[in-house]
Amino acid sequence: MYKLSASILNANFARLGDEIREVEDLIDELHLDVMDGHYVDNISFGLPVIGTLRKEFSSLVFDTHLMISHPERYWEEFIEAGSDILVFHLEATPKAFLILQRIKEKGRLAGISLNPATDVRLLEPVKDLLDRVLIMTVEPGFGGQRFLTPMLRKIEQAREILGDRVDIEVDGGINPTTIVEARSAGATTFVVGSSIFQSEDKRGEILRLREALAT
Ligand SMILES: O=C(CO)[C@@H](O)[C@H](O)COP(=O)(O)O
Ligand SMILES: [Co+2]
């Protein structure tokens, strides 16, 4: 029932394929953080990387997290590149309803992400279209930040608004301690970046995260 989505943002990009191959049988999804240097103050990677990874890793579930301005212009290309789940930021577009509808018409899962300061009640008008909500538990833009504890209340509020149907994903600062706190607040999918890819023992770290979830 709980899913681990491994973020490659802090992986070694010079040997990205090997890094993913090392963990692929232990993770549920691969989390792909797309940053444009405009919506967030960082530039990561985009369509060519996702398209190439899709050819190499045909059976992995790709959870694409768009941290870009104007997702209404680009969402379809990220579907074509191989995203199974497409999450964009509510703050980045006035056309969230339309984008969600279109992603679902394409037969993919659709989600909205919220920055820490964004009110969770803004989800109300679109909640019936959501497969997933991504609650940022750090300010978006960089891996390796500390989990923002006040977001636990926000996860609880999201669960109250959305009921049990919608998957609640948390992203930022997740480790074997914070994963338990986020689960207790109502999260069901956990993005983990540096805790896995900066570890000397990536597989061991994933097992520790799973053990923590099982407690
Ligand atoms: O979307 C983002 C950052 O904006 C995340 O997906 C991070 O990449 C997660 O990394 P860690 O906080 O786990 O290092
Ligand atoms: Co992310």
CATH number reported for the structural domain that contains residue 105 in this entry: 3.20.20.70
Which tens digits make up the pLDDT trace of 103-155?
A: 999 999 999 999 999 999 999 999 999 999 999 999 999 999 999 999 999 99
CB atoms within 10 A of CB 152: 20
Which tens digits make up the pLDDT trace of 162-189?
A: 999 999 999 999 999 999 999 999 999 9
Which tens digits make up the pLDDT trace of 37-73?
A: 999 999 999 999 999 999 999 999 999 999 999 999 9
Q: How far apart are CA 210 and CA 215, in angstroms?
A: 9
Distance (angstroms) between ligand 2 centre and the Cα of 141 equals 8
| Per-chain residues with Cβ under 5 A from ion ligand 2 | 33, 65, 171
CA angle 205, 44, 207 (to 5 degrees): 10
Averaged pLDDT for residues 72-84:
98
What ipTM is given for this predicted complex?
Answer: 0.98
Q: How many domains are contained in the chain?
A: 1
What is residue 42's predicted lDDT score, i.e. its pLDDT? 98
What is residue 3's predicted lDDT score, i.e. its pLDDT? 98
Domain containing 57 equals: 3-214
Distance of CA 145 to the CA centre of its chain: 15
What is residue 131's predicted lDDT score, i.e. its pLDDT? 98
172 dihedral zone (left: phi>0; alpha: psi -120 to 50; beta): left
What is residue 194's predicted lDDT score, i.e. its pLDDT? 98
- Torsion angle (degrees, nearest 10) of CA 99, 125, 150, 132: -50
pTM: 0.98
Active-site choice (33, 36, 63, 167) = 33
What is residue 102's predicted lDDT score, i.e. its pLDDT? 98
**Ligand 1: which of 142, 190, 197, 206 to mutate, most ligand atoms within 8 Å of CB?**
142
Which tens digits make up the pLDDT trace of 96-112?
A: 999 999 999 999 999 99
Output the known binding site for substrate: 7, 65, 141-144, 171-173, 193-194
The mean pLDDT value of the chain amounts to 98
Distance (angstroms) between ligand 1 centre and the Cα of 48 equals 20
Distance (angstroms) between ligand 2 centre and the Cα of 7 equals 7
Q: Is 151 in the pocket of ligand 1 (CB under 6 A)?
A: no
CA angle 133, 60, 17 (to 5 degrees): 115
